[in-house]
Amino acid sequence: MRDKSSFSGWNRNINYRRRNQQIVHYMSTPNIVWITLDSLRSDHTTIGGYERDTTPEMADIADSGHGFDTCIAHGKSTLPSTGAILTGYAPTHTNIGIEGNAVPDGITTVAERFRDAGYRTACLSRNSYVSSATNLDRGFDRFQWLASSTIHRAGAKTLASYLWNIRSHSAGLTTDTAKHASPLLMNGVAKRWLGDFESESEPFFFYLHYNEPHRPYYPPGKYLDTFTDDLEMSGREAAKRALEIHYSLDEIVANGCDLTDEEWAALRAMYDAEIAYTDEMVGRLVSHLRSLDLGDTVVVVTGDHGELFGEWGLLSHSYVLNDAVTRVPLVINGLDESLTVDDSDIIQHSDVMRTLLEVAGVDGSDTIGVDLREEGREFAVSQRGPNTYEELLTHNPDFDYSAFHTGTLNALRTEEWRYQESGEGAELFDLADQETDVREAYPEVAESLQSDLTDWVEANGQPVSEGQQEEFSGTVQRQLRDLGYME
């Protein structure tokens, strides 16, 4: 009989061979780092052709990869849009952000697919809608939602760095949590996690959701005056006014967004400053990632949805599905694959996720995305759930919401047109003028796009459930109030 030492050596050899086999397998599948920036409108970015160089880091990431300025979000806000990213399904299919607020039990998430394929999975989120409250944490081996009540989990070193830099990287010493910026905290935690990944052999899928540049557009100290040269007020005064507008948003919208030219300019300057700061921090994180011995790593940077600045007489990202709200930038770096689409083509988040799943050896054919290595798409579809407009009518009983639809709204966008419909009616918009219904002038176009949309909803948008509802904790509700989603 063999003694214990010989059995020990035999087991070590078996384990060694198994590890080598795993390494050979994993070397063929890249790591994936997906970074989502909240409320990032495409035409306010460098790759979107904006007059201000707000996203030079994103542009640099795109230079050696792919940069798309027409990625069409699946929804108008974080919950339906990110729900589609992290499930691969249409918002009306899962009902996330439509008539429900959580992933139904019968839905397999993207994180679960990667995990089942041997990936380590991790998610770092600063937004309450990407948390256990909505079941979007499902499938992640490692998950952290950063909020005022969980900030201690960022780690002592990261917290010390944040406090030391709180005047340049945030709003200074203030108890108003709506003023504080969090990318420095996000980066500190993310770097620590990436360091952990470096010491392991399996590939990883790491999803990060930054809360900036979401309202209230209060940039950190060192960025306050970045875009104020043409303003008659200082950056701090502009940020203060942006915060006041944030807290009075419903009243302002209900009364027609009657802001002065200087107030509009201040809002845009503060929004752009938030974008520029977050872009810098994303650049720092990607640079750190590239310095590590992680192996092949695909990096995706995008926005979950856009932002309104007066279109349709609205602010923020509620009610409508036009380009201001649904058109976001997207860059891909490190994907060593030829794509069939050009940088000017329409894509959707689900296409990129489907492609990454297939690259990882995961069948994503049941999702609504296309594999961009094999095909593109002729149109994109965005969806919005029912709206009551009660909050606006409280401030102005005469507010006219007839153009915004109250029922579930589906919008189909091509390179030239947007066709949208709900149970109350339909409109056709030329993308050169997204507020004038031209169905009567182009009836054949409207009829063709209506047919395409009907077929798509029938194939992809049927609800799997009536909508799963979860009760949000007080901590989640507090952050949603900071973001303007709750009174």
Starting at the edge strand found earlier in the chain, the sheet holding 327-333 runs 66-72, 327-333, 297-303, 31-37, 204-210, 120-125, 142-145
- pLDDT above 80: residue 219: yes
Q: Has residue 97 been placed in a domain?
A: yes
**Joined tokens for residue 67:** 């940069």
Mean pLDDT for 420-449 is: 97
Position 178 scores a pLDDT of 79
Which residue, among 376, 319, 371, has the nearest Cα to 344 in the 3D structure?
376
pLDDT tens column, 347-376:
999 999 999 999 999 999 999 999 999 999
Contacts of 478 (CB under 8 A, 6+ apart): 147, 148, 177
Please indicate, yes or no, if residue 348 is contained in any of the structural domains. yes
pTM here is 0.90
Whether 45 is in a domain gets the answer yes
The pLDDT tens digits of the residues spanning 51-92 come to 999 999 999 999 999 999 999 999 999 999 999 999 999 999
Q: What is the mean pLDDT of residues 120-128?
A: 95
Give the residue-averaged pLDDT of 230-251.
Answer: 96
Backbone angles phi, psi at 44, to 5 degrees: -110, 20
Q: Which tokens belong to 448?
A: 């063709």
What CATH number does residue 356 fall under?
A: 3.40.720.10
Query: Above 80 in pLDDT, residue 414?
Result: yes
**Contact indicator for 211, 127 with CB cutoff of 8 Å:** yes
- Where residue 172 falls among pLDDT bands split at 50, 70, 90? confident
| HSE toward the beta carbon, residue 22, CA cutoff 13 A | 13
Mean pLDDT on 452-480: 75
Q: How far is CA 128 from the centre of its chain?
A: 13
Q: What SS3 state is found at 389?
A: coil
CA-atom Rg of the chain in angstroms: 23
For residue 208, what are the contacts with CB-CB under 8 A and spacing of at least 6? 33, 34, 35, 36, 123, 124, 125, 186, 190
Structure tokens at 474: 């007080």
Which is more confidently placed, 418 or 486?
A: 418
Q: What is the mean pLDDT of the chain?
A: 90
* Whole-number pLDDT of residue 158: 77
Q: CA triplet 205, 85, 381: central angle to 5 degrees?
A: 155
Examine residue 19 and state whether it is found in any structural domain, yes or no: no
Task: pLDDT band for 21, please (50, 70, 90 cuts).
Answer: very low
What is the per-residue pLDDT across 299-313, written as a single tens digit (0 to 9) for each?
999 999 999 999 999
Starting at the edge strand that comes first in sequence, how are the strands of the sheet with 425-430 ordered? 380-384, 409-413, 417-422, 425-430, 433-437
The 8-class DSSP code of residue 391 comes to: H
Is residue 411 within 8 Å of residue 418, measured between CB atoms? yes
Residue 11 lies in a domain: no
- Mapping DSSP to helix (H, G, I), strand (E, B) and coil, where does residue 386 land? coil
Q: Is the pLDDT of residue 18 over 50?
A: no
pLDDT at residue number 469 = 67
Rounded to an integer, what distance in angstroms lies between the CA atom of residue 286 and that of residue 190? 10
Q: What is the pLDDT of residue 163?
A: 79
Does the pLDDT value for residue 298 go beyond 50? yes
User: Residue 305 has what pLDDT?
Assistant: 98
Predicted confidence at residue 1, as pLDDT, reads 34
Helix (H) or strand (E) holding 77: none
Q: How many domains does the chain have?
A: 1
Strand partners, 96: 100
DSSP bridge pairs for 316: 308
The pLDDT, as a whole number, for residue 477 is 52
Residue 169 lies in a domain: yes
Query: pLDDT class for 96, splitting at 50, 70, 90?
Result: very high
Strand ranges for 61-145 from DSSP E: 66-72, 120-125, 142-145
Q: What is the domain range of residue 427? A: 32-482
Are the C-beta atoms of 307 and 317 separated by less than 8 Å?
Answer: yes
Looking at the predicted structure, is the pLDDT value of residue 115 above 80?
Answer: yes
Let me know if residue 15 belongs to a domain.
no
Residue 7 lies in a domain: no
Assess whether pLDDT exceeds 70 at residue 174.
yes
Q: Region 109-118: what's the mean pLDDT?
A: 97
Share of the chain above pLDDT 90, in %: 80
| pLDDT(22) > 70 | no
Q: Which residue has the tokens 């297939």?
A: 358
